[in-house]
Structures are given as C-alpha cells and as structure tokens.
Structure 1
Amino acid sequence: MKKIDISTILASAIHESKNQVGTLLYQLQSLKDAINNNDTHQKKIISIEESLKKLNDEWVEYLYLYKLASDGYELHVDTFLLDEFLDDQVFALFPSAKAKNLELEYVCDPTLTGVFDERLMTAVVSTAVYNALRFAKTKIRISATKNADFLVISVEDDGKGFNQSDDQQDVFLEGNTGLGLYFAELSATAHVIDTVKGFIKKESSLTLGGANLSVYLPQPSADQSLSFK
C-alpha cells in the first residue's frame, strides 16, 4: 500500500477550509447589507465577521508555512513603495482594530522603497497585528525603516510588552497554535541575498511602550539585481 503523505492531505484540507470560510464571509456580508445599521445584532455580526477574517488569514499563513517548511514555496520578490504597502495593510486590518476600539496606524518615509515578497510580508504583518489586538490597550502601529542593508518592518503596541523574566517570553505571536512566530521567522529567513539572511527581533516598543516585533529583510545594493534565493 502506498504511503500516505499526511502533510499534503492536511494542506489540502486547510485549502478547502479556507474556501469555506470565504463563502461564509460572503454570506455574512450579504446579511450585513440586508439589515439596518442600528439593528441590535449588528455588533454581533461584525464580531463574527472579524473572527472569520482572522481565521481566513490563519489558513493562508498555514499554507505558506507548509510550503516554506517543505521548500515548496517559490519567493516572488519585487520593489514596493512602503507607504502604499503599509496603507494597504492598515486598510485591510482597520475593521478588526475598530471592532476592539483600538487605533491602527502606520508610519514611514513616503519615499521609502523595499524589495521583498509581498504575499509573505502581508501574511506576517496581519499575523502580528492580530496578535497585537489581544494585548494593545489603545494603539497599534506598523512602521517601516531602512537599517544599514536591511528593510525593517515593525509592528508595535501599547500593551504590557514582553515578559522576559519567566517561561512566557515567547508568548508574542504564539496565539493558540504556537506557529505565528515560527512563520514570521521562516518568512524572514526565506529572504536571502548572497549569504545574508533575513531575521526577526522581539523587543520593547520605544514609542508605544509595549511589544515590538521587527522583521529584518536584506536589501540588494545598487550594483546587485534582485538575486534573492
């Protein structure tokens, strides 16, 4: 009997579940459009919708994680204007922040550009923001800067920050699955120029006082092409 590749079966099941969540989101949107904004059930519908969106993003993350871990993901890098990229992230995630009465903003030099895989970084940012929604008191900030030969994309909050004094130091991005931080790290290290790999840092936020996850992505020099591996 042929050996069953359980990882492929699980990946297929996740893909199908993701499609089902997409269908539910479409039906929920139709329901929202059909009722009055002042309806007493509106808040419940919005809460369900945001939970489904988070679940849908998690399915996307798991599929990328499977491909990254099995070397089945082909990196698609390009040059992006960070102001546009971060604006897109805030636009997509703002309803989730609003549902929790949290402010979500982004900060970057409007001329800053970076070279990276947009799909992976979108998934990493959304994962980090969804986690920050659990701990932030009032505000979450996404930012992008240039640090030496690295593009740095950070997600900060004004929550309690990291607790490095006990065994809970890796709670950030762990959620219920324990895969969020692993996914962020794999996504960063997938970006390689020559022998320089991307990496992540967990720090305290100097601006908001809470937690800060920063993803460092190597950038090609002026005489290098987009030679990511």
Structure 2
Amino acid sequence: MKNRNIDFSMVLALTVHDMKNSLGMLLNSLDELRMENENTFDDSSKFNTLQYEAERIHNDLVQLLGIYRLGENNLSAHVEEHFVPDFLSEHLARHTPLLKGLDIECSIVAEDINGFFDADLLTGVLNNTINNAIRYTKTRIRLTANEQDGYLVIGVEDDGEGYPEHMQHSGTLSFKSLDFNTGSTSLGLLFVSAVADLHCEGERTGHIKLHNGGPLGGGVFELWLP
C-alpha cells in the first residue's frame, strides 16, 4: 500500500475554508429573508436563534482558520489607516438586523480618530466580540473607541452579568493558558489576543483587556492597539 503522505491539517483547513464561505452565503440569504419578511421574522425567536447560531459558527470557522495560519507562521497584519467611527458603523450595520430582531439596543461612542490596523483581522475580532455580547447582554450593547496612553482602544460593552473572575484578563493569551476541561476553550479569545499581538509599533504590541463595569455595568472587552 502506497504511503500517500496526506497532510490532514491542510485538508482540514481547506474544508473549514469551504464551510466558512458556505455559511457566509447562508447568512446573506438570512439577511435577505429578514428584509423581505420583516414583520414576520423580526419577532420570530426561532429565526433569530437560527441567524445568531449561524453567525456564531461562521465566526468560529474564521477563528479556526486564523489559529491554523498562526500555527503555520502565516498570519500577519497588513496595517493601513482607517477612520475609526466609520469602521465601527460599517461593522455594526452587519449585526443590526439581528439586534433589531432580538430587541437589543446598540450605540457607538467613538472619538473622531484614525487608527492603524489590519481591517480584515479586526473584522474577525469585532464579529467575535459583538456576537459574544449579543449572547450575554440583557438589552444594550455599546461600541467605543478612544485614545489612551498612545494606544487606540476599541471596546465592546454590554449590560449582562459580566465576565466571571477566571476570564478577566489583561495582556496576551497563549494556547497553554486555555483550559479544555471547563467546556469553554476560549479559542475566540486566543484568536483576538493573537490579532492584537500582531499589531506592533517599536517595542509596543497590542493586547486585550477583559473586565466588568463601564457605563452599562456588564462585561467590557477592550482591544488596545499601538
């Protein structure tokens, strides 16, 4: 029998990529269905659950691909200048139909500032954190952006119960820090932490902060970029 030398990790990555693209098409179709049947689907808990779970799986696949590329040393940040309020508004618009259907109020409080970052990588970060906030919030989500200590700080806040103590964190996560016995591996946090770490200026690198409080009183996710 021939040794076919199949690279299973590559096969898995290609499969995940195809699944991600298919789910992207499904999400677009769900958005169109909601627009065509607004009065019917906005109040449908089943449709809202379907859209939320499809979005969550899509985000998981994006993160898996990112972590695979990270492991292959093939993930890098292509930094360009962006007007932050517009960037946040564009990404919030993607979630607006679902937020409306779930009766969740979302606002943006952002300084008129420019930031230097990889827009594609930050799209994955925002989709992950907004989707996570949708899961745990009660009625409100807030996106923020400001400058602190020479960093661009992008935040996602909610009015839920907040992060449990073991998840509150400041700095950079590593794969070794993940606990596979808790039922929640926090791969999403590993992905966003890795994206932050890819943004650097001199000796300063990006990092994340997870804590509770803020104006809404729930969980606060912060991405700090130099």
**Taking structure 1 as the reference length, what is the TM-score of the superposition?**
0.81
Moved over 6 A (4+): none
Q: Give 2:217's aligned residue.
A: 209
One of 194, 216, 220 as aligned partner of 1:186: 194
- Per the TM alignment, residue 137 of structure 1 is displaced from its structure 2 partner at its CA by 1.1
One of 31, 51, 54 as aligned partner of 1:52: 54
Amino acid at match of 2:206: G
CA contact (8 A) 1:79 1:113 kept: yes
- Structure 2 residue 146 is matched with structure 1 residue 145: yes
Q: Secondary structure at the match of 2:77?
A: coil
CA contact (8 A) 1:201 1:215 kept: yes
Tell which deviates more after alignment, 39-48 or 181-190.
39-48
Q: Secondary structure at the match of 2:106?
A: strand
Q: Give 2:99's aligned residue.
A: 97
Change (3 A) 1:120 1:50: same
CA contact (8 A) 1:50 1:95 kept: no
Amino acid at match of 1:160: E
For the residues of structure 2 that align with 1:79 and 1:175, how far apart are their CA atoms?
38
- Structure 2 residue 133 is matched with structure 1 residue 132: yes
Tell which deviates more after alignment, 198-207 or 23-32.
23-32
Q: How does 1:20-99 map to 2 (within 5 A)?
A: 20-28=22-30, 37-38=39-40, 44-99=46-101
Coordinate RMSD, CA, aligned: 2.8
CA contact (8 A) 1:131 1:175 kept: no
Q: Give 1:10's aligned residue.
A: 12
Q: Which has the higher helix share?
A: 2
Q: Give 2:172's aligned residue.
A: none
Amino acid at match of 2:68: Y
**Taking structure 2 as the reference length, what is the TM-score of the superposition?**
0.82
Change (3 A) 1:138 1:62: same
CA contact (8 A) 2:115 2:152 kept: yes
Deviation digits for residues 149-175 of structure 1 (CA, Å, limit 9, x no counterpart): 2111111111111222xx56589xx99
> Which runs of no fewer than 5 residues in structure 2 stay unpaired?
170-177
